[in-house]
Structure 1
Amino acid sequence: MSSSTRCFVVALCLVMISYSPMAAKGEQGLAEQICMESFEDKEGCLALLKQADPKIVSAKSFQDLAEATLEWAVSKGSEGQAFLKELAQVDNSPAIVQCANFDYDGVVESFKSALGELKDDPETASYDAKVAGDGPDCCDRGLASANINNPAIAALNRQILLLSSLAFNAVSKCGD
């Protein structure tokens, strides 16, 4: 192979490599599609996806997206509850104890229930995914009534609310 042919092949490869990220950015995955179509807080939803399990952003069907989102939601809800329980031991505020032991029990159980019902009863699964958002709402209200302003809890509650909405919308599209 002549040197000019090699240069051409190398240049062609560099051009193809430089355009591949642009093509990837131009394509919108199913999760991003839901963020753009269904969320008032599109930026928050897209930011959440940057932290997401890769199975979520690479899902090829709404069924796969719903399952991956619910699995991640169970994990994040459990992690959040563990964080709240540790905080409740240190702070011992009744409002934080309520968040940890009641509100987030509901979050985790609702996400688990939605995951278990996804294949056989998507309608109930979508309801359970939506109901999981009640826990962070109740937690926020309880903290506000106790005059507790904790940015870490607020961020956790916001993340779980976004996950609840993402899961609800993904499950709702499973029949499409």
Structure 2
Amino acid sequence: MRVIGLAGWSGAGKTTLMARLLPALGARGVSVSTIKHAHHRFDVDTPGKDSWVHREAGARQVMVSSENRWALMTELRGAPEPGLYALLAQLSPVDLVVVEGFKRDRHPKIEVHRAANGKPWLHPEDPAIRAVASDTRPAAALPWASLDDIGAIAELALRHAVAPEAW
């Protein structure tokens, strides 16, 4: 299993890029999972449903299973947030994990940058950035692909992804 991240400031288009990149990788025969970091409280459960009742009643983990999918929710209940490496260990094996967010972690990343966003580049300060997907070329000599060239971004992702043990 290899890992590549998509890192950038809010509004750069990471989620939009992810939605276009995943089908392109799948079309190449690459099995992909994702991890998304949220900076705020979020909920994947529906209030009033049985799984929500279990979780609200104090369960540390709640698994929901059906013929179409299963999901495991874990409540930290005051425990520290697990790091990226620990989260990766929870995934079933795939060819590639694409991480959105975790921009301060040391896994290899593609910087997603949009000039109109008015934010600075991340790559001068982050040595884990291996390539750039942007609407403008970076000043640094990093591999670059236009945000509209999904095939080229897929190539960058596959070329720069590494196993977690390597970072």
- For the aligned pair, the TM-score class normalised by the smaller chain equals under 0.3
Structure label with greater radius of gyration: 1
Greater per-residue helix proportion? 1
Higher RCO structure (Cα 8 Å, ≥6 apart): 2
**What is the TM-score when the length of structure 1 is the normalising length?**
0.24
